[in-house]
Structure 1
Amino acid sequence: MNEKKIKKSEERCTLQEILDVIGGKWAMSIIYALFPGKKRFSELERMISGINTRMLVKELKNMEENKIVTREVFATVPPTVEYTLTEKGKKLEPIINELYKWGLEYVG
């Protein structure tokens, strides 16, 4: 009995950790926008309607810290920044696509 409680508690912690990484309001939209390949910051801002610059920066920093995206800065004037999914981030594609299908069937 005690083992079941411990296992459920551990699962809950793991799920919470997952949500801390990809559970932000805009995280899945950003990841989805990066599936086709690298995007500049301004492209992401245009692609994701309703997001503001501050939130995009915050979500991208969180995803960079969690190794979901990589950030590449080019020495241009003004500076150019491009984001791409890491291998870890690319592994989210089938999961997010399934969530999208589920949403079309049950939410939309």
Structure 2
Amino acid sequence: MVVNMDQVSDTQVARCMQILSVIGDLWTLAIVMTLQASEMRFNELQRAIPRVNAVTLSGRLKKMEEAGLVSRTTESRGRQSTVYALTPLGERLSPIMDALRQVALDLERSGYAPPGPPASRLLPRRPDDKDQPGP
């Protein structure tokens, strides 16, 4: 479907740009994709997302929590730990993430190779991504 930009209001564009400013970077996408499977502790998230450092992960999680996309719960099981999960609002991003994942896979299969490492080495794999090459 082609969108006639004359029919798109400035408000619609601004809203889309606003949410993209929150979710539109590599690490935030990776966090959403990882948390789609289940809630995780900080260290589990860091291990699940290749190449992300603790400072970046912490900053992205804080930004996502402020936006209402991620919840942060403190648990006390022997030691205190923090668990992160998608909120209902964050879960609404799942179809978008699935569509992005499929487009990326289709582009990769078509031979398109954007600069940088292959996407399969950057973003986490979901358990149901059997046709996608692993890291």
Q: TM-score range by the shorter chain?
A: 0.7 to 0.9
Please give the secondary structure, in 2, of the residue aligned with 1:72.
Answer: strand
User: 1:66: which partner in 2?
Assistant: 67
User: 1:32: which partner in 2?
Assistant: 33
The alpha-carbon deviation at position 73 of structure 1 amounts to 1.1
Please give the secondary structure, in 2, of the residue aligned with 1:51.
Answer: coil
Residue type of the alignment partner of 2:14: C
User: 2:96: which partner in 1?
Assistant: 95
The alpha-carbon deviation at position 99 of structure 1 amounts to 0.7
Distance 1:105 1:81, change over 3 A: same
**Identity of matched residues, %:** 31
The alpha-carbon deviation at position 20 of structure 1 amounts to 1.7
Unaligned runs of 5+ in 1: none
Residue type of the alignment partner of 2:58: V
Greater percentage in helix? 1
User: 1:105: which partner in 2?
Assistant: 106
Aligned residues: 104
The alpha-carbon deviation at position 21 of structure 1 amounts to 1.8
User: 1:16: which partner in 2?
Assistant: 17
Q: Deviations over 1:35-67 (max 9, x none)?
A: 111101000000000100000000000000011
Please, what is the CA RMSD of the aligned residues? 1.9
Distance 1:11 1:35, change over 3 A: same
Distance 1:105 1:58, change over 3 A: same
**What is the rounded CA distance, in whole Å, between the counterparts of 1:77 and 1:85 in structure 2?**
25
Which runs of at least 4 in structure 1 moved beyond 2 Å after TM superposition? 74-79
Unaligned runs of 5+ in 2: 1-5, 110-135
